[in-house]
């Protein structure tokens, strides 16, 4: 039986391990930290478990929904309510205008968000010539060029900030919006390209969650891996990685682990450091910056909002960048919250932290909680709201920042990995930060490992020409 080490115990690594086990490999999963799940976790408040990391999966993609069903969780799968979020601009609450991830699809709907000159400029976008793009650009700068700075600041920034905790003027257009970028490369109106890129409305839910929280996916994965015979080793750091005559050796400090193949499902920094002598692009991988964030979970009485949340552009508030009204967004949260604390109680998640704002998160826990609650209390509709419980969850180095040229880096890495059989990379640093995207990268990496192992027990001993000949037999 072939042996594979999966390094990284987040949802990507656990899903990759499952794929390898299903194919008949012997799998050891190594996780540096004391717990499993990566950026999926929960807090328990008076017996009510609430997600403190990701709280939904993209249902339009098949990967996450398929895994949920395969793990026997289909009966727990739920979808958000029809409630919509709002936008805070100028200290006032506004309806969220239609857009494609913050790129406008209806300029007239921006009238309440922009001043008169900015609205007049945005309305000229379809009529102004647009050059074809010869390469990647920063999405925020391109949207600013086409629609003006207020559209970038007030619409694009809060939407992308909610996904990447980044600055849109630093993020790669090609990486964060690949389909729209492919259209924009030809030139022409970005408004028309955004409209043409909108998903076809089928009535099917866009997102899905789990009763009890998406973090339940991790527990189900762990149970499944144990049942299939995986060796799970938390609190195990990998200090080095080297090729051997028969496969790979992982330096675990006091011991070494010899395996036929290795799948790295870690953040970019550790993956780059472990492969620095194996992949020419490893230094660039290790240099991918990450944003740290925090989630403040609040149980409150007296809010009474019918909106699913609030997006907050930079400059509107010092600390908070978004609110999710979890008990409005998810029916199961409302039901369980009312069962625990009675009617009139809401569960709210406040998101704190953006790329380049590390100082905000350096406050002691109680100070950061006090500051967050004080800011939220100034929002319209929060007058007289009583905070019953509050919890802080810190996510240091949580979200990779896709800079200009990111897709070229990923393409280079995969080309180099093709010449290094028995080694694969997966995770949020590559193709997307959402759960579905991470699961897709897990499957791609596991498939690559299995293909390499099928081609021979010692694939790295073959020259590139010999490998091509071997693959054609």
CATH number at residue 394: 3.90.660.20
Q: Do both 217 and 263 map to the same domain?
A: yes
In a domain, 348, yes or no: yes
Is 362 a domain residue? yes
Question: Is the distance from CB of 383 to CB of 353 less than 8 angstroms?
Answer: no
Q: What pLDDT shows up at residue 235?
A: 97
105 with 117, same domain: the answer is yes
If asked whether residues 104 and 174 sit together in one domain, one would say: yes
Give the residue among 240, 293, 248 at the shortest CA–CA distance from 270: 240
Phi, psi of 49 (to 5 degrees): -85, 130
For 12-64, write each residue's pLDDT tens digit: 999 999 999 999 999 999 999 999 999 999 999 999 999 999 999 999 999 99
Q: How far is C-alpha 119 from the chain's CA centre?
A: 32
Of residues 355 and 53, more confidently modeled:
53
**Mean pLDDT for the chain overall:** 94
Question: Is 66 inside any structural domain?
Answer: no
Do residues 294 and 383 both lie within one domain?
yes
Say how many C-beta atoms besides its own lie within 10 A of residue 374's C-beta.
11
Q: Which domain holds residue 192?
A: 85-197
The mean per-residue pLDDT over the stretch 341-346 comes to: 96
pLDDT of 248 = 98
Place of tokens 């030139």: 187
Q: Are residues 166 and 184 in the same domain?
A: yes
Q: How far apart are CA 335 and CA 431, in angstroms?
A: 36
For residues 312 and 65, the answer to whether their CB atoms sit within 8 Å is: no
Q: List, for residues 54-107, the tens digit of each pLDDT value.
A: 999 999 999 999 999 999 999 999 999 999 999 999 999 999 999 999 999 999
pLDDT band at residue 359 under the 50/70/90 scheme: confident
In a domain, 65, yes or no: no
Could you tell me which residues come within 8 angstroms of residue 25 by beta carbon, excluding any fewer than 6 positions away? 1, 2, 3, 4, 449, 450, 453
Pair 283, 306 in one domain: no
For the question of whether the overall pTM of this predicted structure is more than 0.95, the answer is no
In a domain? residue 53: no
What is the pLDDT at residue 467? 36
> Which pLDDT does position 316 carry in this prediction?
95
Strand partners, 400: 290
Q: Within a domain: residue 67?
A: no
From CA 183, how far away is CA 172, in angstroms rounded?
15
Domain count, the chain: 3
425 and 377 in a common domain: no
Do residues 121 and 168 share a domain? yes
On whether both 281 and 294 belong to a single domain, the answer is: no
Confidence of residue 298 (pLDDT cuts 50, 70, 90): very high
Domain-located, residue 157: yes
Q: Any idea what the CATH number is for the domain that residue 427 is in?
A: 3.50.50.60
Within a domain: residue 60? no
pLDDT tens digits for range 109-129: 999 999 999 999 999 999 999
Is there a contact between 176 and 101 (Cβ–Cβ < 8 Å)?
A: yes
């Amino acid at each position: 039986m072939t042996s594979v080490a999966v390094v990284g115990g987040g949802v990507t690594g656990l899903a990759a391990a499952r794929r390898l086990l299903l194919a008949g490999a012997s799998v050891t999963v190594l996780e540096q930290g004391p717990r499993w799940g990566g950026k999926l976790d929960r807090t328990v408040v008076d017996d009510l478990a609430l997600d403190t990391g990701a709280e939904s999966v993209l249902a339009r993609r098949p990967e996450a929904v398929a895994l949920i069903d395969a793990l026997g969780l289909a009966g727990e799968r739920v979808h958000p309510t029809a409630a919509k979020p709002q936008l805070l601009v100028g200290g006032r609450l506004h309806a969220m205008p239609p857009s494609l991830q913050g790129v406008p699809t209806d300029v007239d709907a921006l009238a309440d968000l922009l001043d008169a000159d900015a609205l007049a400029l945005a309305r000229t976008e379809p009529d102004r010539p647009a050059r074809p793009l010869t390469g990647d650009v920063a999405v925020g700068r391109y949207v600013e060029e086409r629609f003006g700075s207020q559209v970038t600041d007030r619409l694009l920034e809060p939407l992308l900030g909610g996904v990447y905790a980044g600055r849109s003027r630093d993020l790669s257009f090609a990486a964060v919006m690949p389909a729209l970028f492919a259209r924009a490369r030809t030139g022409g109106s970005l408004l028309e390209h955004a409209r043409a890129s909108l998903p076809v409305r089928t009535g099917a839910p866009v997102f899905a969650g789990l009763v009890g929280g998406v973090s339940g996916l991790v527990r189900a994965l762990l149970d499944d891996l144990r049942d299939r015979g995986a060796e799970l080793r938390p609190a195990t750091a990998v200090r080095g990685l080297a090729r051997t005559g028969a496969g790979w050796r992982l330096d675990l400090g006091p011991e070494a682990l010899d395996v036929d193949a290795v799948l790295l499902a870690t953040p970019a920094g550790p993956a780059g450091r472990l492969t620095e002598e194996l992949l020419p692009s490893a230094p660039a991988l290790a240099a991918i910056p990450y944003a740290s964030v925090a989630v403040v979970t609040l149980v409150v009485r007296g809010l009474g909002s019918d909106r699913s949340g609030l997006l907050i552009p930079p400059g509107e508030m010092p600390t908070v960048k978004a609110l999710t009204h979890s008990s409005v967004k998810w029916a199961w949260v409302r039901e369980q919250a009312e069962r625990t604390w009675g009617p009139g109680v809401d569960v709210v998640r406040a998101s704190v932290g953006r790329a380049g704002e590390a100082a905000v998160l350096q406050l002691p826990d109680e100070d950061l909680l006090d500051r967050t609650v004080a800011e939220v209390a100034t929002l319209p509709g929060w007058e007289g709201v009583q905070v019953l419980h509050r919890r802080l969850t810190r996510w240091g180095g949580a979200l990779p920042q896709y800079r200009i040229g990111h897709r070229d880096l990923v393409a280079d890495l995969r080309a180099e990995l093709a010449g290094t059989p028995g080694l694969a990379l997966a995770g949020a640093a590559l193709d997307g930060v959402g759960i579905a995207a991470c699961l897709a990268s897990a499957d791609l990496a596991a498939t690559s490992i299995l293909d390499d192992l099928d081609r021979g027990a010692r694939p790295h001993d073959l020259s590139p020409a010999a490998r091509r000949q071997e693959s054609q037999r």
